[in-house]
Amino acid sequence: MQIEEVKSNTREQRVATHSHIRGLGLKSDGTAEPVATGFVGQENAREAAGYIVDLVKAKKMAGRAVLLTGAPGTGKTAIAYAVSQELGPKVPFCPMVGSEVYSTEIKKTEVLMENFRRAIGLRVRETKEVYEGEVTEISPEEAENPLGGYSKTVSRVVVGLKTVKGTKQLLLDPSIYEGLLKEKVAVGDVIYIESNTGAVKRVGRSDAYAAEFDLEAEEYVPLPKGDVLKKREVVQDVTLHDLDMANAKPQGGQDIISMMGQLMKPRKTEITDKLRQEINKVVNQYIEQGTAELIPGVLFIDEVHMLDIECFTYLNRALESTLSPIVILATNRGMCTIRGTEDVEAPHGIPLDLLDRLLIIRTMPYTLDEIGVILEIRAKTEGLKLDGGALRRVAEKGISSSLRYAMQLLTPAAILAKLQGREEILTADIDEAATLFFDAKTSAQLVAQQSERFLS
């Protein structure tokens, strides 16, 4: 008997810059582990970020902002990313770069407001009538295609649902059959169908089928109690920007003039302040009634020194708004001129009135040993093998040039090792990769030495 291994068809996730970061790596008492969840060093900065997470969870951080300052490659973006990981998957996290606000299509302040609204979530709880149970049968009934031809169309579908209390057969519209196919519903799955909208949601596999496979990748759920038709609380998570976009789209008619108007409308349109105020009123009504809950997320603005004086003034006003997310800013600049002014210098290129509102967290340069541990974690994430000498050499490159350059050397060195027929990266591979790819300091020295050969 031949046994073959079935290879998974799931798409492998791309290894990004911060793929190894899974959290802040703090102990239960709030102190930082030296090495944990992909983080190495920066204990003070991580502990401070941990207190920010606690403030956010206690809902006492709205209207405040945090500034991460430090040299390039000291983990500012990694800390902001780790804060979002700690807050959980349902809390909105909206990253942007300061230069994103400069657009030819829409105003700078509009870009900022859009991202502010993307970072504010609304959890709406509704009680709906649903048909819930374990699927016992899915029988689509076909009919002749009204458009002619040999193909047939689904005219209706019969679905059997079973609960602890009893069973029911439902005769459903063909559009609901499409929903069943989209959710990949099979016999034995626990589902619910909303009675007023016909939306289908697969909850999981019935636990009666729990011993079906040796390796179980499914989520097994118990057989629903009560009747098949019941009232159920449905929770929906949306952002305020989603509500803005849903209400800003033109609801045109079917006549030719309306259709042409929709075609001629620019693709990127600004949402008016009046519309936002109306949506805020409705949102506040929902919150007062207790049917909705506001979830302030995180807006992360990297390279904040790229913003100009107009944007900083707008940020000041936006932070005081009743509907405001937690804003985390990051910069690697020292004393520099504020953009949009002629000669006004300020720390980090941020006006002093805004700087006074910020909780400032400083990141420190990494030591040789810390860079070695970071590169070891990074190599493991990318599936690379380094011997001790190669790891030491690439860590030294990180000290002499930068951590980013050291990280970027790993993959070319792995390719060079493969060409030599080796899986493990040696010191020679690191040295050869370093001769092929220059770091910023070496490149600057070469430009200075050969300045007469370059155009000025």
CA–CA distance, 166 with 17 (Å, rounded to integer): 53
pLDDT at site 34: 82
Residue range 309-317: average pLDDT? 89
- Kindly tell me if the per-residue pLDDT of 232 is higher than 80: no
pLDDT at site 324: 81
**CA angle at residue 213 from 2 to 227, to 5 degrees?**
150
Note if the pTM is more than 0.85.
no
**Type of residue at 225:** K
* Nearest alpha carbon to residue 401 among 429, 449, 434: 434
Question: Over pLDDT 70: what percentage of the chain?
Answer: 88
Paired residues of 386 in beta bridges: 425
* Nearest alpha carbon to residue 131 among 109, 159, 110, 105: 159
pLDDT at site 369: 87
Edge-to-edge strand order for the sheet containing 358-362?
93-97, 298-302, 326-331, 65-69, 358-362
Could you tell me which CATH number the domain at 368-449 has?
Answer: 1.10.8.60
> What confidence tens digit (pLDDT) does each residue in 366-383 have?
888 888 888 888 888 888
Length reported for the chain = 456
- Kindly tell me if the per-residue pLDDT of 259 is higher than 50: no
pLDDT at site 148: 66
- Kindly tell me if the per-residue pLDDT of 266 is higher than 60: no
pLDDT at site 215: 55
pLDDT at site 68: 92
**Type of residue at 133:** G
**pLDDT mean across residues, the chain:** 82
pLDDT at site 6: 45
pLDDT at site 2: 54
pLDDT at site 213: 60
Residue range 27-37: average pLDDT? 82
- The CATH 1.10.8.60 domain(s) of the chain lie at 368-449
- Kindly tell me if the per-residue pLDDT of 175 is higher than 70: yes
123-285 to CATH, choices 2.60.40.1180, 2.40.50.360, 3.20.20.70, 3.40.640.10: 2.40.50.360
Dihedral angle of Cα 432, 437, 443, 447, to the nearest 10 degrees: 90
List C-alpha distances in Å: 183 to 66, 160, 193, 412: 41, 16, 12, 42
Q: Is the dihedral of CA 255, 260, 266, 267 positive or negative?
A: positive
CA–CA distance, 156 with 176 (Å, rounded to integer): 9
Question: Over pLDDT 90: what percentage of the chain?
Answer: 6
pLDDT at site 33: 84
**Range from 67-76, 216-225, 403-412 carrying the lowest mean pLDDT:** 216-225
Residue range 185-189: average pLDDT? 89
CA–CA distance, 210 with 219 (Å, rounded to integer): 9
CA–CA distance, 441 with 401 (Å, rounded to integer): 7
Evaluate whether 76 touches 67 at the Cβ level (below 8 Å). no
Which has more confidence, 103 or 162?
Answer: 162
Gyration radius of the chain over CA positions: 28
Residue range 39-64: average pLDDT? 82
> What confidence tens digit (pLDDT) does each residue in 104-145 have?
778 888 888 888 888 888 888 877 888 889 999 888 888 777
Residue 128: its H or E element: strand 120-144
Neighbour-count burial for 389-404, b at 16+ CB within 10 Å, e otherwise:
ebbebbbebbeebbbe
pLDDT at site 87: 82
- The CATH 3.40.50.300 domain(s) of the chain lie at 35-119+297-362
Could you tell me which CATH number the domain at 35-119+297-362 has?
Answer: 3.40.50.300
Query: In 10 A of CB 199, how many CB atoms?
Result: 15
Paired residues of 36 in beta bridges: 39
In a 3-state reduction of DSSP, which class is residue 219? Answer: coil
**Type of residue at 169:** Q
Output phi, psi for 208, to 5 deg: -65, -20
CA–CA distance, 386 with 409 (Å, rounded to integer): 12
- Kindly tell me if the per-residue pLDDT of 270 is higher than 80: no
pLDDT at site 11: 38
Evaluate whether 124 touches 291 at the Cβ level (below 8 Å). yes
Which residues, in sequence order, are CB contacts of 443 under 8 Å at separation 6+? none
272, two tokens: 């008016």
List C-alpha distances in Å: 345 to 71, 102, 348: 19, 22, 9
CA–CA distance, 234 with 385 (Å, rounded to integer): 48
- The CATH 2.40.50.360 domain(s) of the chain lie at 123-285
Residue range 275-280: average pLDDT? 87
Residue range 294-313: average pLDDT? 88
**Range from 3-12, 75-84, 271-280 carrying the lowest mean pLDDT:** 3-12
pLDDT at site 3: 55
Residue range 204-210: average pLDDT? 82
- Kindly tell me if the per-residue pLDDT of 176 is higher than 80: yes
CA–CA distance, 358 with 68 (Å, rounded to integer): 10
148: region left, alpha or beta (phi > 0 left; psi from -120 to 50 alpha): left
pLDDT at site 67: 92
CA–CA distance, 282 with 123 (Å, rounded to integer): 14
pLDDT band with cut points at 50, 70 and 90 for residue 69: very high
Residue range 420-449: average pLDDT? 89
pLDDT band with cut points at 50, 70 and 90 for residue 15: low
Evaluate whether 439 touches 402 at the Cβ level (below 8 Å). yes
